[in-house]
Structure 1
Amino acid sequence: MEPSNDVALDIIITNVVSVFRTRCHLNLHTIGLEGSNVIYKPEMGKVLMKLRKPRITASIWSSGKIICTGATSEEEAKLGARRLARCLQKIGFKVRFSDFKVVNVLAVCSLPFQIRLIEFTKNNRPIARTKCAERGICSGADLSSTV
């Protein structure tokens, strides 16, 4: 019988990215003038809006698509998205909160052992990708999975 090497991992979610639609056209210039905590970026065709609680940043496009980043849980992401929709309603748009979905979750953890990133990504090629600034100097690995 082998000895048990069970170690509890503390996985910390650092960012949840979500997207939703308003089902109406949004005038970015109006949002830039009348909204609070906004940055109008006409060269990029979007408005950035920040909420303090929950702490999220939203990219708003005139088509009605909104991407929210910065939440630390799915519930916080949904609450922030709904609050953002409410802010747009108060400006005067006929916003309907629809098609909400979480599209990315970023989490970190410390492992009780070392990982050789280059060998790890070579052995797990379909799902792993190395982030290398220079040849041989790697800062991390991206793992992707389809759920």
Structure 2
Amino acid sequence: MDSSNDDALDIIITNVVATFRVRCHLNLRTIALQGTNVIYKPEVGKVLMKLRKPKITASIWSSGKIICTGATSEDEAKVGARRLARCLQKLGFKVRFSAFKVVNVLAVCSMPFSVHLVDFTKNNRPIAR
């Protein structure tokens, strides 16, 4: 049997989550009032900011910690994070981009066989909950 490209799985990265810090305190109210594409969530203590290119959503906390979601590659996540830092800089904050880290990658693929979840869980009890 020829094991060429027929056996290869087509894995598609759908979401990359990254974190970084701007090393300064951020006034969320200022970001909400002067920023573009923002949603202020005072009950949670954060601001959501969306970028169109690359298409990412960032959760911004007043401590300067930012989580970016929605990128489809590590490079796209880093470019989006830097663009976000630049937006905050333009709003007057003394931003210093640091501690960039990819914390999660979500990918999907089609398996060449079916997976019976109930049986899989029963057979792999300690690791599959």
Which protein, 1 or 2, shows the higher relative CO under an 8 Å CA cutoff with sep ≥ 6? 2
Q: Same fold (TM over 0.5)?
A: yes
Q: Does 1:20 align with 2:20?
A: yes
1:51 aligned partner, one-letter code: L
Tell me the equivalent position of 2:73. Answer: 73
> What is the TM-score when the length of structure 2 is the normalising length?
0.92
CA distance in 2, matches of 1:97, 1:122: 46
Would the alpha carbon gap of residues 24 and 127 (structure 1) be closer, same or farther in structure 2, given more than 3 Å must change? farther
- Computed over aligned residues only, the root mean square deviation of the Cα atoms, in angstroms, reads 1.5
Tell me the equivalent position of 1:53. Answer: 53
Q: Does 1:90 align with 2:90?
A: yes
CA distance in 2, matches of 1:67, 1:54: 15
Higher helix share: 2
2:98 aligned partner, one-letter code: S
Residue 117 of structure 1 deviates from its aligned partner by: 1.2
Higher strand share: 1
> What is the TM-score when the length of structure 1 is the normalising length?
0.81
SS class of match (1:36): coil
Tell me the equivalent position of 2:118. Answer: 118
Runs of 5+ unmatched residues, structure 2: none
Residue 40 of structure 1 deviates from its aligned partner by: 0.7
Identity of counterpart residues, as a percentage?
82
Tell me the equivalent position of 1:35. Answer: 35
Runs of 5+ unmatched residues, structure 1: 130-147
